[in-house]
């Protein structure tokens, strides 16, 4: 592979995620986060992707030993309890360990920026591996499906994550813990449903998948604008 082709592949793999991150970062109107910190979170997302590969290999082996891959139940278990739970779990761990006690985390929209940064780092790693494995043919579809989907999951994560910090700062520990759980469980549910519909075959499944993706993206951009407009101190 020539250097020029290598650069084209890298650009096709990372540009969609970078553009989405720039958009979200531009919506942080009150106190934009330090760029070095955002970049660090991107790399934490890449680390989360690497860890997920190992965990999913173990989980996949266990599930395939216990169930047949010919059933809808197998697909559901695989997408929700293994892929969704593991990938969103590693993202959440990186998010929590890197940002919860950071002094920059002082506004609600910050949590959304942090979650999106980690998630898009994860998406970049996935995209690079897919593009170099299958070629530029997959770059377009992943740019409009997989990468924005990762961001959509993280928008939900970031909103509940900031709520957890908001309530924690006000001494409402039980509500804070609930929001912490929701910042993981809601993305798991969205991720699992996305992967399940993408895996199933047939006209009905395709219509449901497209409808779900469109609805998720519409809600995602609405929530980003809404949270930006109604940002407040934690």
Among residues 110, 65, 57, the alpha carbon closest in space to that of 234 is found at 110
Quick: pLDDT tens for 112-133. 999 999 999 999 999 999 888 8
The answer on pLDDT for 71 being more than 70 is no
The answer on pLDDT for 70 being more than 70 is no
The answer on pLDDT for 68 being more than 90 is no
The answer on pLDDT for 190 being more than 90 is yes
Q: What is the pTM of this model?
A: 0.93
Banded pLDDT at 200 (limits 50, 70, 90) = confident
The answer on pLDDT for 24 being more than 70 is yes
Q: Mean of the pLDDT values across residues 12-18?
A: 92
- Which is higher by pLDDT, 1 or 130? 130
Contact 205, 79 (CB under 8 A): no
User: What are the extents of the domains in the chain?
Assistant: 3-229
């Amino acid at each position: 592979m020539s250097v020029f082709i290598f650069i084209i592949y890298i650009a096709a793999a990372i540009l969609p995620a970078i553009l989405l991150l720039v958009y979200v970062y531009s919506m942080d109107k009150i106190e934009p986060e330090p760029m070095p910190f955002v970049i660090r979170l991107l790399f934490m997302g890449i680390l989360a992707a690497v860890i997920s590969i190992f965990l999913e290999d173990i989980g996949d082996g266990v599930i395939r030993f216990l169930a047949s891959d010919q059933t809808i139940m197998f697909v559901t278990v695989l997408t929700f309890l293994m892929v969704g739970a593991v990938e969103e779990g590693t993202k959440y761990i990186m998010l929590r360990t890197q940002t919860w006690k950071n002094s920059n985390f002082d506004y609600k929209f910050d949590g959304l920026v942090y979650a999106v940064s980690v998630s898009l780092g994860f998406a970049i790693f996935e995209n690079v591996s897919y593009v170099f494995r299958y070629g530029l043919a997959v770059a377009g579809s992943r740019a409009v499906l997989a990468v924005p989907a990762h961001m959509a999951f993280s928008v939900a994560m970031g909103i509940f994550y900031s709520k957890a910090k908001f309530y924690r700062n006000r001494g409402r520990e039980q509500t804070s813990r609930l929001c912490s759980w929701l910042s993981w469980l809601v993305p798991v549910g969205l991720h699992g449903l996305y992967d399940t519909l993408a895996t199933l075959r047939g006209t009905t499944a395709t219509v449901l998948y497209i409808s779900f993706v469109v609805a998720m993206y519409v809600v995602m951009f609405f929530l980003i604008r809404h949270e930006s407009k109604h940002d407040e101190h934690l």
